[in-house]
Structure 1
Amino acid sequence: MSGSPVRRTPHGAAGKLPRVGNGSLAERTTRALLEAIMERRFPGDRLPNEPDLAAQLGVSRTTIRTALQTLERLGVVSRAPARGTQIRPHVGRESILLHRLVGFRGLLEANHDEVRVEQRFEVREHPTPAGMAALGIGADTPMVVHDKVIFADGRPAVHLVQEVPLDFVAEETRRRLVAGRRFDPPDTIFEFSQSWPGRKIDHSLVELVPAVVPQSAGFRLDMAPGTPYLVMREVHYAASNEAVAYSEETVDDSFIRFRMVRTR
């Protein structure tokens, strides 16, 4: 297991936005804007105009427009010709639609001083029964499994198990994992999927399932037997509608309470 502590950055620090750089530009620009919004870096809950944002982030106006459209669709901002782009201040990181962008670590960092991760990334010979059913694969399919516990102020808050068929990941990643060499996974499975040839995650089907802590040993969160908790089950799909990964996240909802934003 490896641990990586993260501390929150101060909120409300006004100033220029960092340049985005290269890569999946529209998505990275969306993340940069969202992080600035969550840190309350825009006075009056209003974003600058598109040319100013493009100049600060070092991207084109077209990329800025795409990012703003994504944030509007997620319910983070509202846009109108007469009044520009206005932030909806009541929409926080706990919105389930933002989970893809900020991840569980980002959700916890909003309210806790220290967030750290203990994780194991390995190849297993077989999928779990749930993963096999969700992905429609055989019991003999080798899997890449990411087992991760996220701690908030010293207490386990979230336990994630994410699995993807070994053949789906990039060749270099496969070689490293099969050889037992060190591999530092990205924060979210959505980022990890950027490197899967032809199988980048396009959308996910999310199921929130209420459960109760069992009497048996092995439960990874610090909760008494019989305590209610939430399980988030996600089947992740490529743009071709092929199921490419399965995630199961156990959440102590005393740390995270999800909200859904509905827009017209």
Structure 2
Amino acid sequence: MADADLRHAPSLLGADDPPVFAIHRPQGTSPYVLLADHAGQCVPHALRALGLPQAELDRHIGWDIGIAGTTRALSERLDAWAIEQTYSRLVIDCNRPLTSPTLMPETSDHTVVPGNAALYAAERQQRIDAIHTPYHARIDDELDARRAASRPTLLVMMHSFTPRMNGVERPWHAGVLYHRDTRMADALLHALRDEDDLVVGDNQPYAVSSTSDYAVPVHGEGRGLLHVELEIRQDLIADTAGQRAWADRLARIFTALQPVLLG
């Protein structure tokens, strides 16, 4: 479809498509705020599954496996406001700047994504307007409201990572990620490494940058908030039992860190 045709096209999301995000504990009293950019794997009906079989959308390329349930469970335990993004990162990656080449990837972990091939500028903008913009606008609204109310905020970006990538095994159970501001990351890294049963990566298996990431540079550093990005290995949270166990662990750790971080 040409750019000119898309100017008059209906919205990307139809009546049968789910909302862009879900909010948990909207009146939560905790200073912690949880963001799950890659929680969902939905694809708008109009995009016809991006030309992929469901098995590909079920892989780690389609979403952060296990992070939705972990975030919900942690939100409950902390009484923390949390947001869960609904659509697959293959439709649009909500943790990418709009200029990132992986915002709508044509290939992901050796899988070609037919529905992302040679997109027109208007098609790209349609996805940005329908998903990326409203999702981050809702986060901005919450952070603005907390600032206006002089409420302390500790921002946690919740993610999960595949145990094996490009044929390489990843030994970490979790990773603590950061960019320039290491205040909260240092505290969480030490707390997780104090656990006897964990191997914890320091900016592993990924590193954050302003060109490859959105939430840390914009919502965290851009606002001067204490923040951290947390990665949990997907095989550890693939089922409900694992999600609950990690939520219990993180709730205990975050509760202990709260007075230190806010002191």
Structure with more contact order per residue of length (Cα contacts < 8 Å, sep ≥ 6): 2
Q: Which has the larger radius of gyration?
A: 1
TM-score relative to the length of structure 1: 0.25
Higher fraction of strand: 1
TM-score relative to the length of structure 2: 0.25
Higher fraction of helix: 2
